[in-house]
Amino acid sequence: MSAYRDEDPRIQGIKTKIRVVPNFPKPGIMFQDITTLLLDPKAFKDTIDLFVERYKGKNISVVAGIEARGFIFGPPIALAIGAKFVPLRKPRKLPGEVISEEYILEYGRDCLEMHVGAVEPGERALVVDDLIATGGTLCAAMNLLERVGAEVVECACLIELPELQGRGRLNGKPLYVLVEYQ
């Protein structure tokens, strides 16, 4: 599901604040730069508000943000809906005991880690990131949460690149997106 399809007037303002940078970080990539959105307090607030409106009252107890840009959107959403924020980090960034989930990228392998005990069995979780491309990172995040017994309610991303078909890799889990780029 996408807010864009629902024609919320805030979406166009948000979309105009996302800068597309051609050939970054390598030739052929059209990089979706959210830093320009963060420079506009209204667009940033509208982004958070749209997510909060969707998830308030859904009994979500965990907002899991994927490093690094999920750390920008996840904490304000968690605070507004009364949930805890759990960072899902790259390897060796969290002190103490962690649980890990390795995943395959189009150019190699990567891994997400979470503190042991950060999420309890039966908790309802929302996974937040800035963008879904191929879906590998979101799948790893969901697997990590489900391995400790959490129920992943939905994944939420600011941007979707539908031509990369990441949505199809989410094993039927709902995905909520504000902006789609073709």
Task: Please give the positions annotated as active site.
Answer: 69, 106
According to DSSP, the residues that pair with 111 across neighbouring strands are 102
The answer to whether residues 136 and 108 touch, using CB atoms and an 8 Å cutoff, is no
According to DSSP, the residues that pair with 46 across neighbouring strands are none
At residue 65, what are phi and psi to the nearest 5 degrees?
Answer: -100, 135
